[in-house]
Amino acid sequence: MSILSSIMIRKPPGAAARFAAWLKSYWKNRYLFYMMFPCLLFFFIFKYLPMYGIILAFKDYRIVDGIFGSPWCGLDNFRELFSGRDFPRAFRNTIILSVYKLIFGFPAPIILAILLNELRVILFKKFVQTLSYLPHFLSWVVLAGVFMEIFSPTRGIVNYLLTSLGLEPIFFFGDQNWFRTLLVSTEVWKSVGWGSIIYLAALSNVDPSLYEAAVVDGARRWHQMIHITLPSLLPVITIMFIFAVGGIISDDFDQIFNFYNEAVYEVGDVLSTYTYRLGIKEMEYGLATASGLFTTVIAFVLILLTNFIVKRFSDYGIW
């Protein structure tokens, strides 16, 4: 019998053989599986198991009846949500704030990464990196207290400078004209350093010979950034942009919840704070779940749509 015919008549391994092979592999790497098990258990309990609560969006939930005992109401919660008096305002503010953060916050870490990459004094570069990373590790609860002192209309350093220049003090946390600017600027300040890490990692993989060849050809620093650095970052920029567009419908609840008050509801109330009031304060759990599900579905659709458009014009994308 020839080798070709023996290969052709060989049967694929059965289920028992595949299971035995998997069992052998499992036993060989059992300690790795043991280390992975707590993580899987965490995700199952705190991520996947709570997903059954999505059915609250389609039920007239009553605490005494529980999730499964409450009657189904179809899409009534969504109709009530969209017809709510505060929903249009929260939706509008979410989009506006997210677009502002996308415009000013998305390019900021890219610019910082490029500037850091151009630094040749290593000690100074590490110092700048450390300063830019630190705000990421501070919670918005702490930062809210710090910024309230800095921008206080009576004792804040910013208003002290304004009054020294003969200008009127500004209540930044209570002025609707300044509140969005405050949110966007503090968000960019907090996230710019941490966000630059992924771009710095991408730049570390750029072949140094490309820069050497550019120097030999007489290219200046600016031309090197345009023709070498930015094209090298393009795949990472594309993927991060897709995720950023998907996050337009989302917002930073921790920041806004600790910053805003009733005086700035008109410009600061967003979907996450609106959902919080529905669920925690008004105990409308069905409406709150419907609001959260609406946000998630829209974000998922935006990611799919953005990825589709980007793939049409480039070779990069999530999949």
Confidence of residue 13 (pLDDT cuts 50, 70, 90): low
Nearest residue to 291 (alpha-carbon basis) of 302, 305, 306, 277: 277
pLDDT at 14: 67
Distance CA 302, CA 154 (A): 44
Give the model confidence (pLDDT) of 144-185 as tens digits. Answer: 999 999 998 888 899 999 999 988 888 989 889 999 999 999
- What is the model's pLDDT at position 23? 83
Q: Which residues pair with 72 in a beta bridge?
A: 59
- Where is average pLDDT lowest: 45-49, 141-145, 212-216, 264-268? 212-216
What is the torsional sign of CA 92, 95, 100, 103? negative
Predicted pLDDT at 5: 47
- Lowest mean pLDDT across 10-19, 30-39, 80-89: 10-19
**How far is it, in rounded angstroms, from Cα 27 to Cα 18?**
14
Which DSSP string corresponds to 160-222? HHHHHTTPPP--TTT-HHHHHHHHHHHHHHHHHHHHHHHHHHHHTTS-HHHHHHHHHTT--HH
Percent above pLDDT 70 for the chain: 96
The domain segmentation of the chain, as residue ranges, is 37-73, 84-139+187-313
What 3-state class would DSSP assign to 251?
Answer: coil
pLDDT at residue 290 above 80? yes
Query: How does pLDDT run across 66-90, given as a tens digit for each residue?
Result: 888 889 988 999 999 999 888 999 9
Q: What is the DSSP string of 288-299?
A: HHHHHHHHHHHH
Residue labelled with tokens 């506006």? 96
* DSSP-assigned beta bridge partners for residue 59: 72
- Mean pLDDT over the full length of the chain: 87
- 103: confidence class by pLDDT, cuts 50, 70, 90: very high
Identify the architecture of domain 84-139+187-313 in CATH. Answer: Orthogonal Bundle (1.10)
Token pair, residue 19, equals 């299971």
Q: Judge contact between 110 and 199, C-beta under 8 A.
A: yes
For residue 11, what pLDDT band results from cuts at 50, 70 and 90? very low
